[in-house]
A and B are shown apart, each in its own frame.
Chain A
Amino acid sequence: MFIKLTTVDLSLAAILVVLLGVLSAYMKLGIAKQLYIAALRTTVQLLLIGLVLKNIFESTQPLFVLLICLVMISVAGWEILSRQKRKLKGWWGFGVSAGSLFVSSFSITVLCLFSVIQADPWYSPQYAIPLLGMLLGNTMTGIALGMDRLTQTAWQQRPVIEQRLMLGESADKAISDIRSEAMRAGMIPIINSMAAAGLVSLPGMMTGQILAGAEPVEAVKYQILIMFMISAGTGFGVISVLWLISKRLFDDRERLCFKRLLKQSGN
């Protein structure tokens, strides 16, 4: 049994988004434009990928799969960057975010495909791409939050950081509190969803598998695997990003170096 959605159904949901945008504009919360762009993007992007997903899944070319993965990572890296109020200047910003996604999400996906799922061939796109996608989608959020918190708090607490430097603390020590706060900010979403799974929320992938006729226990096992991968991916990703950025915020004489940050408007 599969209930098909009509255009009217989707329009109803779209009206809610429009209302939210109107309310935000009325209250001058400044999120309307970003919200509309994101809603439009999700519609167009999902429609397009829906059309070609079948063809992609049928491909067995490893290079083609790799290429798609790299595109996904680059886009995720770019999205992280455009959520930042202050980002690292030049290629550093993209390098740090895409690099950490590569280290965390990509390597964990490969490890999981290779040793746990063991499809034939192991890079089969119908496993590799959704898996990487779920990981990227979640780690991306964590990394974007952690990064934004770090640069914003460091910017606002400049006098405190410099005070700690004056007291002879190393750069690493002087920013340590801000870094652990940023780590917490980045990890809250995944910790929340692990804690609430099954009690508050029924994760989408698992529910989908069960509805499609899979054995519930098997579906649950997959979901647990995904949850662990996401938390590990987010954790390693956020840690590497915070480490790299907090290094980059100081020069070789342990002085704050905010000229390496660029303020972005529209965030």
Chain B
Amino acid sequence: MKKKKSGAVWMILPLYIFTIIFVAGPLLYMVALSFAQPKAGHGVEWIFTLENYKKILDPVYMQTFTGSFKLALTSTLFICLIGYPFGYFMAKLSDKWKKRAMIFLMLPFWVNSLIRLYGWMIILQTKGLLNHALKSLGLIDKPLRILYSYPAIVIGMTYVLLPFMILSVYSSAEKLDWSLVEAARDLGAKPFKAFWTVSFKLTLPGLLSGVILTFVPSMGLFFIADILGGNKIVLVGSLIQEQMTRGSNWPFAAALAVVLMILTTLMIMLYRKITNAKELEGVG
């Protein structure tokens, strides 16, 4: 079947060429760029330097990294708190309701994320729905300034990334053998104890992979901070964008991207490890 082979080579050739030029190429160029010296304008001087990486260690920029990290952590925490019970409860639904819940969950997922964030803008603004509601309930006198603040960004991040967590927890809770929980109860465990020792332990891989699935993108979603945070909070994503456009320091932007990329890759590797462990657990 020699002919079949040569046919296959022609078939993957476009993919090979395209991938190497437009995926591998830019990424390698980014790495090279991160070791070059910036010049006025968009210029780059091809002289090897570690300055760009050293610059990241500068307190001003380190703050951006730690700030992004903190925001990602905070958002991830909220996502866990809201998403874990959701995924867990969803897995306990009857098959019919499971299917319905899944459709309802996926539908907003498909709606342009900008539209959904815009909806939050309308709700959160000073004269918006939330303040209106709180006021008429008599909970507040003066409208809260939520939009263009840190909480608004956290709300936006949580909102956009929540489905990833839910799906991850759901898929691991769905495989859970409920008879184990019943067995624990049967052996005398109180409901919470039974949950903690059996269900939680067995759904932990789902929770962890959900954490990574939400933590990684939350480092880079600069437009959420931009729309809901009103440019006040600078994240790594925003910093990269700024350095690429106004700052015109491409090598520095590249160095930032390389570091972000390394963090992401580490996270993905961790994720792979966890999902592999999950599979092993399934076998055992």
- Do A and B truly interact? no
